[in-house]
Structure formats: structure tokens, C-alpha cells
Chains A and B, each alone.
Chain A
Amino acid sequence: MSGIAYELALANLSRSDGMAPPAVDKTPLLHRYHPDYQEGTRTRLTIGANRGDECPTRLATLLQSNAQITDADLAGAPVINTEVLVIGGGGAGSAAALTAAEQGRRVILATKLRLGDSNTVMAEGGIQAAVGEDDSLQRHFEDTLRAGHLCADRTLVARLAESGPDCIRWLINRGMLFDLAEGTPVGGKLLRKKPGGATCARILSYHDYTGLELMRVLREAVELDDRIALWNRCPLVELLSDESGQCVGAVLYNLDWHGFILVRASRVILATGGAGRLHLNDFPTSNHYGATADGLVLAYRMGARLRELDSFQYHPTGLAWPSHLVGGLISEAARSAGAWLINGEGNRFVDELQPRDVVAAAILKECAEGRGVERDGNLGVFLDTPGLERRHPGILGERLVSLGHLAHRCGIDPTTEPMMVRPTLHYQNGGVEIDEHGATAIPGLYCAGEITGGIHGRNRMMGNALLEIIAFGRRAGQHAGATASPKPAPKVGLYHLYDWQRQIILSGLPAEVCGPCLFPDYGNFDLRRDLVLRASAPGAVQAMVAGMTPS
């Protein structure tokens, strides 16, 4: 694909008449250009609980992959017991760990990067909770269900809407601030914004870095909670099972010491997030570095059922230039404020306030048909910030402060130079099936956060992701904490793998493809190569364990 050279496109932009965009027929546009609908980009699963369902090929390969480890790898690995093991260091994992610990449980929170290195911390927009006088829990419920094309799990959505206000209370109690629209902190009213597809204003926020505010509060709460052992840099490599197929712990890999650790746990909560860094269909992503669907792959391998696993959200306005920021997100606020999308010929081509999937498909169409803008090998369209500024003088400086920061990092002045955008892989709509407690069909295994499916249906509303991680992180932590046993399972192993490997072989799938991948391809990480670095010094295993158990 090629586009119109940047300089020429700029000249075209300067002559742009700003004529209203043509009306588009959504269905064919989506089917033709939205990545979810592309022929040849999906694969039908042949093994596992979702046999017969389609999902993006890259994800299918991992879902049907072989284990990274064998019994031999576990020999000599230290075994540590806990009551609740939480995997994932974002908002959902933190909420789950804190809630389980509040019930007096011994908790280990293990995370691949560091606590807080997550999509949560990057969330800008806000969190939904129906607190407005004109709003109700029922409206939140219905808006969410409608936005998800009516295919979400009604029970889950009801729990989501119901727990909104209490989640805000929970967050405030732990020290999270929210913006006020009027009045003073005591007795004032919360600032509410309206998400696309909602019937009233429901998004609560803290400036335009709500996720940062949320995550730094929860991270501190977790770090200061001495009932929670925090293991940074310990990715999940495999789940542990007993002979009955129950989940009884996990195998983690300590990246500092290059060795495996077995954790025997009565309850395991996966809060490992989404799949953006798999770059499905070769898309750039707005996700953090660790979003490689590790938990999803392992839950599936153990027998969990997935849903809507072919549904992903591509955010229309990811950065398309400069190269090192490609995929980074430009908040929807710019379009809400009236910024236009302009193609390389200087024309608007879609109503910018259409749903995200429609706008994303429209941009991809422009690029595919040669009307995109090309700069340093990157293809996109213009987000016409100078035009916005001309029509609303001062708006960039006053209302779109973060956009200004971002433009600055791109090395441009947004009042005089447009930004270049194209869709970016943003969110995994579906995921592991859970009940209202976050429990999966596998005894002992819970999921919370982006890894789960059923809450957003086939399309997530803005602000429901942050609510989901708190609402369901807490629910999973509550239920797991309440039902956990202090006695570790007597027999733990890789029992579920034997049948899985039989299925791989019998289905003619490649047994040498291993998952989860832990890091994106360009992370240059190879578990087998890294294992060679296993500390052989006497006492290294003890040193590793000593560093991981509270002193």
C-alpha cells in the first residue's frame, strides 16, 4: 500500500474546503475494511472448548499451541504455597489481591513486568458509574448491553452496573481522587462525561489520566499490604492441575534468576489482560508491552471456554507518525471537540463521531484505496488539529491539553501541523467465560479484567473497562478469598497437558509451536535460551526464594 506524499497531502489540506463527508453505508464498509471481518485473517479452532469457532490466526496459533515446559523443567524448582495466587499486575489483579487479602488470605501477586505496568495505567478517559440524578443502574445496564450489540452476558452486565457506585466508593476509600463538576469535595458533585453510545453522562474521571491515578493508588495499596507478596518479573508459564482437572497453582518464571517456581494455590485468579502486543492482522497497538494473551492461552489449554474471541476493538485514532510512537492513542476527545479527519486529497471521508469500528474502517478504506497520507513510510490520514484551532481559537490550549503534550512528543505544533492517525489495536472485547464471581468452569480458576468475555459483548463502551477491572477484580478476589482452603492441594502437576498434547497430535497441529509467548516477537526473548542463564551458583535458588518471600 502506498499513499499521497506528506508534502503534497499538506498542500491539499491547506486547500481543503471542509465539505461535509459523504454518508457511508456501514455494513459493507465494516465487512470490507474492519479487521474483524476480513476473509483470510481468521482461523477455525480445531481443539479445545471452542473447537469450530473462528478467531484471528495469530491468536489461534497460540490458543492451540503446546506447553513451554515439561515435567523435566519442574525438577528442582522451588515450591511455594499460598492460599490465593493472583497473576497480573494491572487494575484487576490489584483489586483481586487486595480484596482476597482483606479476608485474611495469604496472597501472592505475580506479574510479568512490574506491578502497574499495564493497560490500566494508560487509560485516559475514565470509569463509568451511574451516579447522576438523571442516570440509573438500569440505564447503565441497558446502554452497555446495547453497545455490545446485545450479545453480552446479562448477569455479568447487571453486576457491572450495580457495582459501579460501590466501586467508586472503594476507590475513594483507598485514596483515588475524582474530578468534581461543582462544589467542594464534601457534598459537591462529580464531573460526568458522556461516553459514545450512552444515554446520559456517566464517565467519572481524574483529568485525562484516570488510569494513572487509579493504578498508582492501587499499586501503593498492594505494596504496603503485608498480606500480599508481590512478585515482579515473574510471568505465568503454565497452570498446575491435579488429576481431577482442578487448577491448583501455577508455574512462574523468575526473569531475574532465570528459573521456574511452582506455586501451589487453592485459588488462582488470572488478570493477565489482553492481546494487543500480538499485533493481530499486523496492526500497531495502543497496549502496553506485556499484552500477549498469556492467561487466555493457558486458561484455554486447561479447558476454559472463550467467547467473542473474534471481536477486537480497533481505536480509530492511533498515531501513525512518528515511527517510534506508532500505535499510541489519541483520545476520542479530539474528535468529540470537533476535529476532522482529512485524507491525502484534502477531503473529509466519514462523520468523525460515528462508532469507533465505523470510523476505523473508513480510515482503513482511505489508506487501502491510495488516499492515505504517507510520511517516512508510515500510512495514515490527517487529524486536522490546525483546522480545529481555526474554527475554535484556543481550544487546543484550553481543552485538549494531553493532545498538546502528545503532539509535542511527536515534535509538532498541533496548531499549525496536523497529526497523522490510523487505527490501532486497542481492546479484546471477548475472552474467558466467567460467572458473576469471576469463576471459570475450571474449579479453582478465576479470571478478571480484559482476559474475560461476556461483559462487553462485541463492542466495549468507553469507561467500562476501568469499571470492569475493579468490579470483577473485587468479585473474584472476594469469592476466591471466601472459598480458598489454607491447605495446599496434595498432588499438583501438569496433568491437563497430557490430554492437550494428544489433541494437538491427533489434530495434526504443529507440536513444536509453544505458548504463551510472554513477550512480543521483537522483544527477542526466548525462554529456552534464557533458561541457560539459570543461576548455577550455590545458593542461587535459595537467594531467589529469599527475595520472593517476605522477610
Chain B
Amino acid sequence: MTDLSARVTINGHIIKTSTSRSLLEAVIDSGQPLTDGVGCMGQGVCGSCRVLLRRKDSREVTTALACETAVEDGMQVSFLDHLPMNRHHTYTTNDWDDTWNLLNRINQTFPEASRCRHCGGCDRSCPKHLDVQKGVNLAAAGDLSAAKVFDECIMCNLCTIACPEHISPNHLGLYIRRMTASVMLRPSDLLLRLRQIDLGVMPVDPDVELT
């Protein structure tokens, strides 16, 4: 790499690198050990490499994924620790056994959701630009279309960190999604095939001759 025209500050290290590199690669270029804040390395699906980011001459500080963000000269970057395991909102799939009680369950498991103060911090934090707050409000109102809002959520937890009411929006979204599947998804072709297997009419002959 010959082009070292860009200078970025990452966790206090001034790194000379190229604008063709991602922020994550800039860490590599700096020679520091990289054992944290890294996962899929470019696909933007694991949510590990979350950073706070300020561009040159800008007052604004935003959140972003380092693997998806190209280096720009003068960037200031700070990696964010991953959230310690969140067992704040606990439940098991057995909670959904009584399907007439689902809406109560949502509010019992995520009681903070109804206290959303509409600050919009979750929306502004989301690196995938999802309508997080809208999803939270739908879920709190028992509208399961909230599941759709969180379709592309990568569970980076930035909204959970951002939420002043401790709602854990992404976990709420996942809760609704999981509930939707666990309780309501019963495709007929799968049911039929499972029954055939139970009845023993769907055997596999491992010794079949193949060419």
C-alpha cells in the first residue's frame, strides 16, 4: 500500500493509511493487536465493530460500523465496547404457550417499552437506518407488525446503549419476531413431511447404489 495520504485517530492512535481502507483495516495497518470489535469483517452483519465517529471539521458525532466505513482524512474514531450479556429482559419460548396472553407477555417482559419518551436516539444510532422507535411503539401497543420493522436488525445493540428508558429496542424487536415464528409459523408442507417421517414412510436408504 503506497498511498498513506489519510490520517485518522482511532482510540487515540494516529494512523496513516489510505482512503481505500476501512476503519477496521486502518486498525490493522496501525500494527495494534486486533482481537476485539471485529467479526464478519466487511459484510456488516455481525455488529461487532461499532464506533463513534467524528468527521473532520464536523460538530456531529455519529455511530457507524467500522468495517463498512471507508477512511476519510481527519476522522476521529472511538471503538465501543460490546454490551455485557443482557439478561435484563428474560423469557423462554414457553412464555408463549398461552397464545391468548401474548400481548400481556410483551408488556410483562418489556415493561419499559410503554414508557418510550420519543427521543429518537435509537433511530439516530441505528447503523442500518431502521425505524427503531416506531417498532418499539408498535410492539408496546401489541401490534405484531413491529416484527417487520426489525427485519434487517443485526443486533449490534447500539439502540440498547442509546435508549435512556432501558427498553432494549433490538431485543424487543427480536422478541416479537421470535414470538411470531414460534407461535404462528406452521407451514403445511413442513407439517406433512414431519408426519411422514413420524409414520416411517419417508425412509433413507443409505446403501443405494449411485454413479
Contacts and interface: CB of A to CB of B under 8 A. Distances in A.
Nearest to B171: A220
A177 B180 contact: yes
Given A174-B93, A219-B155, A288 B39 contact: yes
B172 to A, nearest CB: 11
Contact of A114 (B34, B48, B152): B48
A174 B87 CA distance: 17
B117 to A, nearest CB: 25
A136 B171 CA distance: 37
B41 interface: yes
A531 to B, nearest CB: 12
A133 B206 CA distance: 21
B158 to A, nearest CB: 15
10 contacts: A131-B189, A131-B193, A142-B210, A169-B194, A175-B178, A175-B180, A207-B151, A216-B155, A220-B178, A224-B87
Nearest to B70: A324
A328 interface: yes
Nearest to B174: A220
Contact of A177 (B152, B155, B185, B189): B185
Contacts of B25: 324
Contacts of B46: 116-118, 121-122, 288
A167 B21 CA distance: 40
| Most chain A CB neighbours (cut-off 10 Å) among B21, B39, B82 | B39
A129 B192 CA distance: 13
Given A122-B45, A217-B174, A524-B32, A212 B82 contact: no
Given A188-B187, A230-B85, A176 B194 contact: no
A185 B206 CA distance: 34
B86 interface: yes
A161 interface: yes
B43 A122 contact: yes
Given A177-B185, A289-B40, 8 more contacts: A187-B187, A212-B154, A216-B174, A220-B178, A230-B85, A323-B21, A324-B25, A530-B33
B190 A190 contact: yes
B20 interface: yes
A505 B78 CA distance: 46
A123 B24 CA distance: 21
Contacts of B86: 223
Interface stretch (A67-75, A150-158, A261-269): A150-158
A8 to B, nearest CB: 21
A227 B53 CA distance: 38
Contacts of B189: 131-133, 189-190
Given A177-B180, A289-B38, A523 B187 contact: no
Given A288-B41, A524-B28, A141 B190 contact: no
Contacts of A155: 206
Interface string B8-26: 0000000000101110110
B101 interface: no
Contact of B207 (A154, A220, A289, A324): A154
A168 B206 CA distance: 22
Given A114-B48, A117-B48, A230-B85, A255 B93 contact: no
A323 B42 CA distance: 11
A370 interface: no
B141 interface: no
A188 B42 contact: no
Given A116-B155, A117-B46, A178-B185, A524 B31 contact: yes
B90 interface: yes
B175 to A, nearest CB: 8
A522 B33 CA distance: 8
B204 A185 contact: no
Contacts of B41: 288-289
A525 interface: yes
A138 B152 contact: no
B28 A522 contact: yes
Contact of B210 (A146, A176, A185, A329): A146
A420 to B, nearest CB: 13
Contacts of A26: none
Contacts of A233: 35-36
- Interface size bucket, B side? 35 or more
Contacts of A325: 22, 42
Nearest to B147: A177
A80 interface: no
A13 B44 CA distance: 31
B177 A131 contact: no
B206 A141 contact: yes
B204 A324 contact: no
B184 A165 contact: no
B4 interface: no
Interface string A134-173: 0011100110011000100011011001100110110011
B181 interface: yes
B188 A188 contact: yes
Contacts of A530: 33
B34 A324 contact: no
Nearest to A522: B28
Contacts of B38: 113, 117, 289
B22 A169 contact: no
A176 B181 CA distance: 6
B185 A323 contact: no
Interface string A446-472: 000000000000000000000000000
B19 to A, nearest CB: 10
A237 B209 CA distance: 43
| Most chain A CB neighbours (cut-off 10 Å) among B48, B68, B153 | B48
Given A114-B48, A178-B185, A325-B42, A216 B33 contact: no
A376 interface: yes
A138 B28 contact: no
A324 B69 CA distance: 10
List of 3 A-B pairs having minimum Cβ-Cβ separation, nearest first: A175-B178, A117-B39, A324-B22
Contacts of B153: 216
B182 interface: yes
Given A113-B38, A519-B34, A525-B34, A131 B174 contact: no
A327 B40 CA distance: 11
A418 to B, nearest CB: 18
Interface in A201-229: 207, 209, 211-212, 216-217, 219-221, 223-224, 226
B203 A138 contact: yes
Contacts of B70: 324, 411
Contact of B179 (A121, A175, A226): A175
